[in-house]
Structure 1
């Protein structure tokens, strides 16, 4: 049996971190149900707590926050995509349903399969496109898809496209900057753009001091589920492509449904459709690297290069 090499060890470590991160993201649905304030106010507090947490982290560790102007502007404007993604996500839920929004969000894999090669100037992978379509099929089976919510579908697709773009940008930035630095400046950008959005839409009128229970849930959401998870999600991109991260991120609704069942006893969500859809998603996620490796070997064999 071959020994596990250092690169494989690092890869497995990053995959484990990513799965744990996605599991934490799945928990945000539980917190979203428990928090009683409006969706946009929730996002505003979430981002505020998250970047304050990261600021304290830098101060405690005496780590430098300084970046050059070009990097700051790039991360600050990428924060607009991050903030836009969260607003679009909650707005899509508001005008449609959670089911419709999560079905549309599953197109993240497909968007990344198209955007990543275009941005990084490499050929589009048919395997990645096919995998993206399989993921969408799995999510559709899990949720009762209601096609009459046209606006919700449109906002959900925009939400997925925004997530795909900032993930690809982060996969480039993490090669030259610390993940916590990337997260900090992107969250500052997100906070600025979300605040601007609230000012333009009179959303600040809905902003008020949360109840005691809400504060506790918001602290968990802002620290563990946002600042910690965001940094971890960016850090794994040193080893994993944006597409692989997007692929595994599709486990979020699966984890979310299982946790909703555990916390709220939503037995109806654990239907036959759930198990079939979850099986398709899990199979696609875990078989993708195997099929990709096999396809690479066949390609190398045809080209006459060693595998």
Structure 2
């Protein structure tokens, strides 16, 4: 059991690295956030459906499950739209470090759904993330709009993680992912129809954008989405959210390599990012220490 947890924890880190690359793709793709997310979710649904047919998996789910997936699918769609908006109006580094507040939001939301007391250490670690962000944005105030979009995205990400922590107890990760992406894509489709945003130009995508969208929807969405839901069988939503805080670290390194000077920030920014990384490491140490103590108590 302990080995299984470690395996899934390492798998989660690999998924988070992929999500860090997602931000790079979001910056490279030239289309706006809403159509970007529509293409991402729609193509991902196709890829997962193909996987279902090849592996002969069932699409069956009860009506209550469908309603749950409609709600959570819309949440993930809005989360991604605000996430890519944050990148478009600021940059990868600003958007992703702000997203680290998701751990703080998760520490407040999770106890409500899982009916447990709020742990002081979770609040403390969440507040440390806030301190890191304060240090960063006290010197990078020109990115205010990007910060707002990223904060909204972080809250929705935390809510989504907590909900999936509940869903995975009853439903298969593949089924959850398929229907959430499907309903998220349908939700954006209705929005685009209502606002009359569908046009010939909407479907005129450059070859480069198509290439990046394929990678984004297959590896960074279809695979990573299913895998992230699966690991929640073994890890708590709070641990998942704190580990996701490593996403900005991976993404910042990748962004500096890909975009160079555009992503270079002030020294204070990196001080704040260091605090975020320190919180993630500290959480891992505390969680592992707790698991080891429980193991010896059982013996």
1:41 is matched with 35
Indicate conservation of the 8 Å contact 2:110/2:238, yes or no. yes
1:62 matched to 2:53 = no
Distance in 2 (CA, whole Å) between partners of 1:140 and 1:53 is 40
User: Aligned runs of 1:44-123 on 2, under 5 Å?
Assistant: 44-94=38-88, 98=92, 100-123=94-117
TM-score by length of 1: 0.86
TM-score by length of 2: 0.88
Counterpart among 158, 161, 164 of residue 164 in structure 1: 158
1:215 matched to 2:210 = yes
1:11 matched to 2:25 = no
- 1:204-246, CA deviations, whole angstroms, 9 ceiling, x for partnerless residues? 2451231112111110000000111111111111111111000
Give the superposition deviation at 1:295: 7.5
Give the superposition deviation at 1:63: 0.9
Change over 3 Å in CA distance of 1:188–1:270 after alignment to 2: same
Distance in 1 (CA, whole Å) between partners of 2:203 and 2:256 is 31
- 1:96-122, CA deviations, whole angstroms, 9 ceiling, x for partnerless residues? 565554344222111100000012111
1:244 is matched with 239
Query: Partner of 1:204: helix, strand, or coil?
Result: coil
Change over 3 Å in CA distance of 1:145–1:41 after alignment to 2: farther
Change over 3 Å in CA distance of 1:129–1:188 after alignment to 2: same
Change over 3 Å in CA distance of 1:271–1:16 after alignment to 2: farther
Change over 3 Å in CA distance of 1:94–1:197 after alignment to 2: farther
Change over 3 Å in CA distance of 1:295–1:28 after alignment to 2: closer
Change over 3 Å in CA distance of 1:144–1:234 after alignment to 2: farther
Change over 3 Å in CA distance of 1:37–1:238 after alignment to 2: same
1:4 is matched with none
Indicate conservation of the 8 Å contact 1:100/1:145, yes or no. no
1:129 matched to 2:113 = no
Distance in 2 (CA, whole Å) between partners of 1:160 and 1:118 is 18
Indicate conservation of the 8 Å contact 1:113/1:124, yes or no. yes
Moved more, 222-231 or 160-169: 160-169
2:255 is matched with 260
Distance in 2 (CA, whole Å) between partners of 1:53 and 1:129 is 39
Indicate conservation of the 8 Å contact 1:260/1:266, yes or no. no
Indicate conservation of the 8 Å contact 2:232/2:240, yes or no. yes
- 1:2-23, CA deviations, whole angstroms, 9 ceiling, x for partnerless residues? xxxxx22111111111100010
Change over 3 Å in CA distance of 1:57–1:144 after alignment to 2: farther
1:197 is matched with 191
Query: Partner of 2:171: helix, strand, or coil?
Result: coil
1:179 matched to 2:167 = no
Distance in 2 (CA, whole Å) between partners of 1:64 and 1:77 is 21
Moved more, 27-36 or 232-241: 27-36
